[in-house]
Amino acid sequence: MIRVFLIAASPLARAALQNRLKAQGVKVVGTAPAIDVLGGEFSDAQPDALLVDAAGESLETTIDSLADSDLAAEIPIVLLTDAAAPAASAQALQVGVRALLPSEISADQLAAALRAAAAGLVVLHPTEVPATFPAAAPASQPLAELTEPLTRREREVLQMLAAGLANKEIAARLNISDHTAKFHVAAILGKLGAATRTEAVALGIRRGLVLL
């Protein structure tokens, strides 16, 4: 029997998911309302997978929390979400999420996805495929000059974002605090006019700021 730890902000959502999973032979070994309050219970439970219900929440905030926590290096993560923007879907996979699924997924599909993720596979629901792997867009117009150029440090951080590093890893590489790393990332997004890390990297590549 697969063992799952569940994160969902709403107690009602946690209870509903527990009931759905129990009916599918999935054992919920622990629950929490948010990623940043995981404690000893999570480690002691020794789950096979982590199920995060981000329905009704900001997907980008959830992805940033997962990136900062480095949980993806410890355990397969399955993420339930409402309709996601293409960049956010791709970013979820970039930070190590193993399965990105719509919140209304059936109980048997959810159980199958959890088992697949625990086995080391990456799972995408058919409705998420167009968002995650969009068709090639027509060639865009040349980019306008930046109103404020990136600093040398911001270019370093952008290069690390392109390599898929989380804020904690960036902070460790540059010997700076996590807060300072987050500040640099926010500044990069603002200067490039990007909504997400993935978009910032894409724009950085187009502008020749990222070495491939």
Q: Which residue type occupies 166?
A: A
Q: In the sheet where 49-53 sits, what is the strand order?
A: 27-32, 3-8, 49-53, 77-81, 99-102, 123-124
The pLDDT confidence band at residue 129, using thresholds 50, 70 and 90, is low
- Pair (128, 156) in one structural domain: no
- Pair (26, 124) in one structural domain: yes
Distance CA 200, CA 151 (A): 15
pLDDT digits (tens, 9 = 90+) for 61-112: 888 888 888 888 889 999 998 865 556 677 787 788 888 888 888 999 999 9
pTM (predicted TM-score): 0.63
- Pair (13, 108) in one structural domain: yes
Cβ-Cβ contacts under 8 Å for 11 (sequence gap 6 or more): 33
The pLDDT > 90 percentage for the chain reads 44
Over residues 105-125, the mean pLDDT reads 89
- Angle, helices 167-174/178-192, rounded to nearest 10 degrees: 110
Q: Strand 3-8 vs strand 27-32: parallel, antiparallel, or unpaired?
A: parallel
Parent domain of 157: 152-206
The pLDDT confidence band at residue 163, using thresholds 50, 70 and 90, is confident
Distance CA 67, CA 169 (A): 9
Whether 83 and 128 have beta carbons less than 8 Å apart is answered as no
> pLDDT value at position 88?
67
Domain boundary (75, 101, 132) is at: 132
Task: For the chain, give the mean pLDDT.
Answer: 85
pLDDT digits (tens, 9 = 90+) for 29-73: 999 999 988 877 888 899 999 999 988 888 888 888 888 888 888
Whether 87 and 197 have beta carbons less than 8 Å apart is answered as no
Over residues 194-203, the mean pLDDT reads 86
| Residue 81: inside a domain | yes
- Please tell me the total count of domains within the chain: 2
Domain boundary (132, 161, 195) is at: 132
